[in-house]
């Protein structure tokens, strides 16, 4: 049984607008049998934080194209993407790419 | 008689001054034949940059404060003078990029933009002035740069970068700065840079945030390595919809100029596998370590499938501009024109006018007697807003004789959100609210300002 973990979620580049404009969320993921991974976190976010228009945030079981995910200040591609196992006090950032100039 | 002599002498003095001014101008032109920028509307072959063997006394004086930096020095300054940079987009990012590169003594500056200067550009596109409205941005930027440093060779292009011209253009430059404002152009610039082996210093800005990365540089990733699939068009916000504080692209453009100068002078950039994010609200910069070049990348990978430029508008599902698209979600009998709405007002036809823009836009301007419920509140069925709507409809019913359905007209800025709102309201009609007839006012408040009331503000 994995203990509950506290993590820090951040949304930026406009992705925060899907979360009532709040850029920072400190959340506690409940205790569960297996360790939490990014795939499960996305489902948890969808159920608990994202109430409307999920298609602007997720696509299939990952984030939609144009959102970059950072785990502790590194591109999640370097960390195992969906398979990354979350640790207590991790900092996860979802940043929407900007195109304006 | 004496008065006439006096007058003629004054006229002669005036003419003498004019002649002197013309002589000066001629001498200036003869000294530096390229000082009047010639605007190009197509890609032209450029002569190779003249290689300066050494700095002149004037150069030494002009660049003295940066020559003192060991990081740059005479060697770096000479490298700058031998480097050509293409600036794609002369807007909020492109203006500071061009300005600082010219000030620092870059050799040649290609300035590309298809657009003309508008009043709503001036809060962020700081090379253009009020007198440049209507002028090609590329020319306006080139003239401003010329005033700053006439020794920099400026090549203004008044054209849209396209799959047909991008390679020919980019091949002629050493470094490319992506200062564009839309998704298809960003993919086009990336692919053209990869195919011609040029480093790409890319920045973007929106609202109160900015991002910067150097792509295709010293074996690092390209734009496609990070974003293999373009974002769905409906998730992309541009500056004319989302807004932008002028200083934010200013800061990002300055940052871009800095990275270009480091690459050009031989110091090198450390942003090749790094994303710099700027949050103006929190006054915070943050650097993120990015993935390396992806072996599976469609354009820079091992078995690249993109070997020539494509139709990027089709690839991205959106136009290569930041101008707003016009949606067509409704049939013609669900829409009325601004002229039709004007005659409803003139005939005092009972109706409810629903303005579905966000409050921040309603504060800028609105029609009298409109009820403001933002589209997002309708979509989310916000209870206090639904209550307002119900009250509005029942008040209208009381005014109306007989049993015909109350009419609700929906308006927004340009007539896109109002169509979405009509679709939402039609679903609500008869269940969540009383039966209503809903129509959208085509073209929105901007059409109202253009066609009905010229005193109504446009934004």
Distance from CA of B39 to the nearest CA of A (A): 22
What is the per-residue pLDDT across B26-41, written as a single tens digit (0 to 9) for each? 776 676 655 568 999 9
Q: Is A99 on the interface with B (CB under 8 A)?
A: yes
Q: Which positions in chain B touch A97 (Cβ < 8 Å)?
A: 204, 211, 227, 231
φ/ψ of B203, rounded to 5, equals -135, 165
The phi-psi region of residue B82 (left if phi > 0; otherwise alpha if psi is between -120 and 50; otherwise beta) is alpha
Tokens 């340009």: give the residue: B414
| Contact of B98 with B87, CB cutoff 8 Å | yes
What's the CATH number where B347 sits? 3.40.250.10
Instruction: Determine the 3-state secondary structure of B27 from DSSP.
Output: helix
Is residue B189 domain-resident?
yes
Closest residue in A to B241 (Cα) is A100
| Contact of B138 with B19, CB cutoff 8 Å | no
Burial code of B233-255, b = ≥16 C-beta within 10 A, e = fewer?
Answer: eebbbbbbeeebbbebbbbbbeb
Same domain? B111 vs B219: yes
Is residue B17 domain-resident?
no
| Contact of B175 with B260, CB cutoff 8 Å | yes
| Contact of B52 with B63, CB cutoff 8 Å | no
| Contact of B156 with B111, CB cutoff 8 Å | yes
What is the per-residue pLDDT across B129-184, written as a single tens digit (0 to 9) for each? 999 999 999 999 999 999 999 999 999 999 999 999 999 999 999 999 999 999 99
Same domain? B306 vs B265: yes
In the annotated binding site of B for ATP, the residues are 92, 113, 120-124, 137, 181-182
pLDDT bin (cut points 50, 70, 90) of residue B233 is: confident
| Contact of A31 with A3, CB cutoff 8 Å | yes
Is residue B377 domain-resident?
yes
The packing angle between helices B247-265 and B94-104, to 10°, is 40
Q: Is B204 on the interface with A (CB under 8 A)?
A: yes
Q: Which two tokens stand for residue A32?
A: 């569960």
What is the percentage of chain B residues whose pLDDT exceeds 70?
98
Q: Which two tokens stand for residue B214?
A: 């150097």
| Number of domains observed in the structure of chain A | 1
What is the per-residue pLDDT across B362-419, written as a single tens digit (0 to 9) for each? 999 999 999 999 999 999 899 999 999 999 999 998 888 766 889 999 999 999 999 9
Q: Which positions in chain B touch A55 (Cβ < 8 Å)?
A: 232
Q: Which two tokens stand for residue B324?
A: 């707003």
Between A and B, how many CB-CB pairs are < 8 A? Answer: 102
Distance from CA of B46 to the nearest CA of A (A): 27
Give the range of the structural domain holding residue B185, as residue numbers without chain letter: 26-316
Distance from CA of B318 to the nearest CA of A (A): 13
Is residue A77 domain-resident?
yes
Is residue A96 domain-resident?
no
Instruction: Determine the 3-state secondary structure of B108 from DSSP.
Output: strand
Is residue A70 domain-resident?
yes
Is residue B2 domain-resident?
no
* Dihedral of alpha carbons B130, B131, B135, B136, sign: negative
Is residue B210 domain-resident?
yes
Same domain? B300 vs B364: no
Cβ neighbour number for residue B302 with a 10 Å cutoff: 9
Q: What is the pLDDT of residue B9?
A: 92
The catalytically annotated residue of B90, B95, B239, B271 is B239
What is the per-residue pLDDT across A10-51, written as a single tens digit (0 to 9) for each? 999 999 999 988 999 999 999 999 999 999 999 999 999 987
Q: Which two tokens stand for residue B18?
A: 């004019």
* Dihedral of alpha carbons B56, B57, B59, B64, sign: positive
Give the range of the structural domain holding residue A32, as residue numbers without chain letter: 5-88
What is the per-residue pLDDT across B294-345, written as a single tens digit (0 to 9) for each? 999 999 999 999 999 999 999 999 888 877 778 889 999 999 999 999 999 9
Same domain? B108 vs B237: yes
Is residue B113 domain-resident?
yes
The catalytically annotated residue of B95, B193, B316, B412 is B412
Please measure the distance between the N-terminal and C-terminal CA atoms of chain B and give it in whole angstroms: 60
Alpha helix positions (H), B267-332: 312-316
What is the torsion angle, in degrees rounded to the nearest 10, for the CA atoms of residue B231, residue B235, residue B317 and residue A39?
Answer: 40
Please state the ipTM of this predicted complex.
0.93
Same domain? B341 vs B306: no
Contact B291 A77 (CB under 8 A): yes
What is the per-residue pLDDT across B94-124, written as a single tens digit (0 to 9) for each? 999 999 999 999 999 999 999 999 999 999 9
In order, the DSSP letters of B320-370 are SSSSPPPP--S-GGGEE-HHHHHHHHHTT---EEEE-S-HHHHTT---TT-
Contact A64 B226 (CB under 8 A): no
The last residue of a domain, from among B287, B316, B345 = B316
Is residue B8 domain-resident?
no
Q: What is the pLDDT of residue A53?
A: 81
Distance CA B174, CA B161 (A): 17
Q: What is the pLDDT of residue B387?
A: 95
Verify whether residue B412 is a known catalytic residue. Answer: yes
What is the per-residue pLDDT across B169-209, written as a single tens digit (0 to 9) for each? 999 999 999 999 999 999 999 999 999 999 999 999 999 99
Q: What is the pLDDT of residue B108?
A: 97
| Number of domains observed in the structure of chain B | 2
What's the CATH number where B300 sits? 3.40.50.720
What is the torsion angle, in degrees rounded to the nearest 10, for the CA atoms of residue B33, residue B34, residue B37 and residue B39?
Answer: 100
Closest to A73 (Cβ–Cβ): which among B210, B236, B288? B288
Distance CA B86, CA B112 (A): 8
Q: Which helix (H) or strand (E) holds A71?
A: strand A67-71
Verify whether residue B90 is a known catalytic residue. Answer: no
Q: Which two tokens stand for residue A72?
A: 């502790």
Q: Which two tokens stand for residue B120?
A: 């709503």
Is residue B211 domain-resident?
yes
Is residue A39 domain-resident?
yes
Same domain? B357 vs B396: yes
Please measure the distance between the N-terminal and C-terminal CA atoms of chain A and give it in whole angstroms: 49
Q: Is B372 on the interface with A (CB under 8 A)?
A: no
Q: Which two tokens stand for residue B38?
A: 């010639």
Q: Which positions in chain B touch A70 (Cβ < 8 Å)?
A: 288
The last residue of a domain, from among B316, B346, B377 = B316
Cβ neighbour number for residue B363 with a 10 Å cutoff: 10
Same domain? B280 vs B368: no
The packing angle between helices B338-346 and B444-451, to 10°, is 70
Contact A14 B204 (CB under 8 A): no
Is residue A99 domain-resident?
no
What's the CATH number where A58 sits? 3.10.20.30
């Amino acid at each position: 049984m994995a203990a509950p973990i506290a993590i820090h979620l951040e949304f930026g580049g406009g992705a925060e607008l899907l979360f009532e404009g709040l850029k920072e969320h400190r959340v506690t993921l409940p205790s569960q049998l297996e360790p939490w991974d990014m795939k499960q976190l996305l489902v948890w976010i969808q159920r608990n934080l994202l109430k409307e228009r999920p298609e602007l945030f997720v696509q299939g079981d990952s984030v939609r194209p144009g959102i970059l995910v950072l785990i502790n200040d590194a591109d999640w591609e370097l960390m195992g993407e969906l398979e990354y196992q979350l640790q207590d006090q991790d900092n996860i950032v979802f940043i929407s790419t900007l195109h304006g100039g | 008689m004496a008065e006439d002599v006096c007058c003629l002498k004054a006229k002669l003095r005036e003419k003498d001054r004019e002649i002197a001014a013309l002589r000066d101008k001629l001498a200036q032109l003869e000294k530096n034949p390229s000082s009047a920028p010639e605007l190009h509307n197509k890609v032209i072959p450029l002569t190779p940059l003249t290689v300066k063997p050494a700095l002149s006394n004037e150069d030494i004086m002009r660049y003295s404060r940066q020559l003192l930096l060991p990081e740059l020095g005479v060697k770096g300054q000479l490298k700058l003078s031998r480097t050509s940079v293409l600036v794609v987009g002369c807007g909020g990012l492109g203006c500071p990029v061009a300005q600082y590169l010219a000030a620092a003594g870059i050799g040649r500056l290609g300035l590309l933009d298809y657009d003309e200067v508008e009043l709503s550009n001036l809060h962020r596109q700081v090379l253009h002035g009020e007198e440049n409205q209507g002028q090609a941005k590329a020319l306006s930027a080139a003239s401003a740069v010329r005033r700053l440093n006439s020794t920099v060779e400026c090549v203004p292009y008044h054209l849209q970068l396209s799959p047909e011209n991008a390679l020919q253009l980019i091949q002629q430059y050493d470094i490319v700065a992506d200062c564009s404002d839309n998704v298809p152009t960003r993919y086009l610039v990336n692919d053209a840079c990869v195919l011609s082996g040029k480093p790409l210093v890319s920045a973007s800005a929106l609202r109160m945030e900015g991002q910067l990365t150097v792509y295709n540089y010293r074996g690092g990733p390209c734009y496609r390595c990070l974003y293999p699939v373009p974002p769905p068009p409906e998730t992309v916000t541009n500056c004319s919809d989302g807004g932008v504080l002028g200083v934010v692209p200013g800061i990002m453009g300055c940052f871009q100029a800095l990275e270009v100068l480091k690459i050009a002078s031989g110091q090198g950039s450390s942003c090749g596998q790094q994303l710099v994010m700027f949050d103006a609200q929190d006054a915070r910069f943050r650097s993120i370590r990015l993935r390396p070049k992806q072996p599976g990348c469609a354009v820079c990978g091992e078995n690249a499938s993109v070997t020539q430029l494509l139709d990027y508008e089709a690839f991205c599902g959106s136009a290569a501009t930041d101008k707003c698209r016009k949606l067509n979600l409704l049939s013609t009998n669900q829409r009325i024109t601004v002229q039709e709405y004007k005659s409803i007002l003139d005939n005092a036809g009972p109706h409810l006018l629903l303005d579905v823009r966000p409050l921040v836009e309603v504060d800028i301007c609105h029609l009298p007697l409109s009820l403001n419920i933002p589209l997002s509140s309708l979509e989310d069925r916000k209870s206090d807003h639904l209550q307002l709507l119900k009250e509005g409809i029942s008040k209208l019913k009381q005014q109306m004789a007989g049993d015909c359905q109350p009419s609700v007209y929906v308006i927004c800025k340009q007539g896109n959100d109002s169509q979405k709102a009509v679709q939402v309201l039609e679903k609500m009609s008869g269940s969540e609210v009383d039966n209503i007839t809903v129509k959208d006012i085509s073209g929105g408040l901007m059409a109202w300002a253009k066609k009905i009331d010229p005193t109504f503000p446009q934004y």
